[in-house]
Chain A
Amino acid sequence: MTVSVRVPTILRTYTGGVAVVTTQPGTVREVIKNLDADYPGIGGRLIDDSGQLRRFVNVYVGDEDVRLAQGLETDVPAGTQVSVIPAVAGG
């Protein structure tokens, strides 16, 4: 079983224009690492030099914002969808 990852437009240059890709389950950190193995460079767009999620990147596991869960250590079970979304202003 795999997990699917929804890729925002600005990162689709790494995935050849594909919006949803699949990879192996694990923690969010591991999923991003797996993703980077398949699409080299994409991990560095999400994680900063100190190994933390960049502050304008929102990652959801299913409906849950990982910052409201265990951050990069949040579990991503097989069959779930991860969404990566740039932070946006409100109204």
Chain B
Amino acid sequence: MSCRECGHTCALGSQHACDQCFGPLEVAYSLPRISRKAIESGPLSMWRYASLLPVPPDVAARPNLDPGWTRLIRADQLAKTLGMRELWIKDERGNPTHSFKDRVVGVALAAALELGFKVLACPSTGNLANAVAAAAARAGIRSVVLIPADLEPQKVLGTAVYGCCLVAVRGSYDDANRLASELADERADWAFVNVNVRPYYAEGSKTIGFEIAEQLGWRLPEQIVVPVASGAQLVKIDKAFGELVSTGLVADSPYRVFGAQASGCNPVATAFRAGEDVVRPVRPATIAKSLAIGNPADGPYVLDVVRRTGGVVADVSDDDLAAAILLLAATEGVFAETAGGVTLAVLRQLLREGQIDPDARTVIINSGDGLKTPDAVAARIAAPEPIPATLEAFEALEPSLRQVTLREAGKL
């Protein structure tokens, strides 16, 4: 493994921080030559890219959730509403537990078993909790999940249902995260997926970038907007694009990476605007709980990627993200979770400000499912008044039934 910060190298294992500078360790491996055809004939899951990941070659044959290969949706109606030429949505609801976290857990699970761990564990804002509990159940191992006590009930239920050991921690995600870091030091056979096996875990997010390029016909997008919580997803998508170019799978073409945060938890956007390369932690206060990481470990690298590619990190209000969820649902039939709302709302804001090119091929990430965060839009949706089951009653109601038009959706 090698340190991203100082380049120090150490043997492969379960260490995640450099013993010289505390910087994050990455699994260092050389990429094989692989053809598009070999990938295209692989499984319809993220394991079609197994040779580009730190996983055993037979990973797809082992009990796992087979994450990935989610839809890349051409969003023409949304594009029209926004005045864009070509817009795509990478829709991560299609994963087994309905968020991109199944990808990172897929790699972490394989690594944890290879390294001899007995328990799969994590601190989580919810989506990761679901993914860890489900993957551990499928693999037949124990799981321990630490969540902030105020998490949405849907995410609590969607974790507990898999029979895991669920621990609610008083405080924010950052408090649960801190406890996990201390526990990881004390429980030798526990794999905290995003702590002590994080160097493997984080690589799983590369598959979002691989899939986008393959689904675009083996080419890179010109612009991509990615939600930023810890920042790892954005950094790994950029890494994936770089690896596709270096292995000759796609042609080298310029792209710009944009980061999206909620204003109630915007430490990376704040650092971006201030021109700083250190991210000062904040106390999160946003309904976008899956992005509510006040102390984002990959924040400095997000700044590096965004500045290198000519992008922007921006943030939007909770009102704007809720409106964006409704816009996406009404124009494309995609019910995004709050993080997806943040991403679309940032796209809208940057279009208004002229910072995103409406004519460039653009991809936005919807990282999870709106059914997990219904409270974000519940107050904006009127429940229908019941009517008797008669034709007369329906016909009396009918004049008042109205579909939200594209024009109306654009004004949400």
Contacts and interface: CB of A to CB of B under 8 A. Distances in A.
Interface of A: 6, 8-11, 13, 19, 45-46, 48, 54-58, 60, 63, 65, 67-68, 83, 85-91
A83 B182 contact: yes
B184 to A, nearest CB: 8
Given A88-B198, A90-B177, A8 B21 contact: no
Contacts of A9: 185
Contacts of B124: 91
Contacts of B18: 10, 56
Nearest to A7: B185
Given A13-B19, A86-B16, A89-B198, A67 B182 contact: no
Given A10-B15, A45-B20, A55-B300, A88 B281 contact: no
Most chain B CB within a 10 A radius of its CB, from A56, A58, A68, A90: A90
Given A13-B19, A56-B24, A91 B104 contact: yes
B1 to A, nearest CB: 12
Contacts of A10: 15, 17-19, 22
Interface residues of B, number: 50
A86 B194 contact: no
A67 B21 contact: no
Contacts of B24: 56, 87, 89
B300 A90 contact: no
A13 B20 CA distance: 12
Contacts of A46: 22
B9 interface: no
Judged by DSSP, the binding face of B is: loop
Nearest to B277: A55
B181 A90 contact: no
Contact of B281 (A8, A65, A89): A65
B278 interface: yes
Nearest to A46: B22
B15 A90 contact: no
Contact of B232 (A6, A45, A60, A89): A89
Given A86-B17, A87-B22, A89-B202, A55 B278 contact: yes
Interface stretch (B218-226, B291-299, B345-353): B291-299
B46 interface: no
Nearest to A88: B195
A8 B185 contact: yes
Nearest to B124: A91
Nearest to B201: A89
A67 B169 CA distance: 22
B337 interface: no
Nearest to B231: A89
Contacts of A91: 101, 104, 122-125, 127-128, 193-194, 229-230
Nearest to B131: A91
B174 interface: yes
A50 to B, nearest CB: 12
Interface in B107-127: 122-125, 127
B178 A89 contact: no
Contacts of B177: 88, 90
B172 to A, nearest CB: 11
Contacts of B175: 63
B173 interface: yes
A58 B182 contact: no
Contact of A65 (B174, B231, B232, B300): B174
B72 to A, nearest CB: 23
B71 interface: no
A58 B295 contact: yes
Most chain A CB within a 10 A radius of its CB, from B15, B122, B185, B298: B185
A54 B281 contact: no
Contacts of A88: 16-17, 177, 180-181, 194-195, 198, 297
